[in-house]
Amino acid sequence: MTSEETQISEELKGCYENLIVIDIGANLTNKKYGRDLDSVVQRAKDAGVQKIMVTGTSVRNSKEALRLTRLYPSTIYSTAGVHPHDAKSMVEEDMWSELQQTAAAPECVAVGECGLNYTKEFSEPHVQRDVFKRQVEMACELRKPLFVHEKEAQDDLIKILDEFGNRLPPVVIHSFTGSVDQGIRYIEKGFYLGITGYICKDKSDGGIRRLLSERILPLDKLLVETDSPFMYPNMRASKLPLHVKDSLTERSMNFVNRYCTFQRNEPCALPAIVELVAGFLGRSPEDVALATAFNALKIFGLSQ
């Protein structure tokens, strides 16, 4: 860490010693929050979630995410992009102009959610690749980070990103659920990995848990997110190691148990995810909160 980063870390340490964290991915434009979004945002703040990035997955959805940044200034930020499932919808040039205009707004801090998904081909792979490539170009032009979705498409995804060489902005692999080998490949490229409540669901010997427990994923490439309303952190998962369960505090568990379900996860679950990550890493939750908050502030240029 450079002397400048060390100084910033010391300044932030006081802010994050009470597990104040940043959720880099929540789908708060989802209709499941239509009736009580104010309460959802307030609960997140009460839990210690200082900032929330609301994910854009289509042109319309990205505009709605941007609207939320103006309703909750300095708390909510947005991304603007087209999810691979929606790639087939980008048929008119006017839609690209709208997306570019939305992504250029100062409250929009990344281009995405964009990428490739070959597990559910709602859009043909060649269409996904074309639409993704155009969004990478947009991120390069705007000099904003890429918020990337990838499922069963790592080779093609990296091939496209490599075409942009040194022009490529920071890349965040959103809601990483891959293998150790896939994680290592991303880390070696200098990409960041977003970890969600999927950590409870992953029961493989070669997935996220191993990336963390063997400290293959360094703290300076780690980010945390809820991906609400998805990726509910099931704390009752029988295969969570005892030492990891012991890392969970009553306070964080209360937020999850009272307000989050399989049908509707919330950003207030993020401190519990931080504690889970810390348990697998064998580090303190404070260290994970500080590192992930620092990474988010640095990558996305969020105001403190």
Percent of the chain with pLDDT over 90: 87
Domains and CATH numbers, the chain: 23-300 (3.20.20.140)
Query: Could you give the CA distance from residue 196 to residue 232 in angstroms, rounded to a whole number?
Result: 8
**pLDDT tens track for 265-279:** 999 999 999 999 999
**Is residue 113 marked as binding?**
yes
Helix axis angle for 180-188 and 154-162, nearest 10°, is: 0
Mean pLDDT of 168-174: 98
Burial track 283-304 (b if 16+ CB lie within 10 A, e otherwise): bebeebbbbbbbbbbebbebee
The DSSP secondary-structure symbol of 163 reads: T
pLDDT class of 239 with cuts at 50, 70, 90? confident
**Is residue 149 marked as binding?**
yes
Name, of 9-13, 87-91, 118-122, 224-228, the range with top average pLDDT: 224-228
Torsion of CA 13, 15, 21, 22, to 10 degrees: -100
Give the pair of three-digit tokens for residue 197: 């409540």
Mean pLDDT of 109-135: 96
Residue 304 pLDDT > 50: yes
Percent of the chain with pLDDT over 70: 93
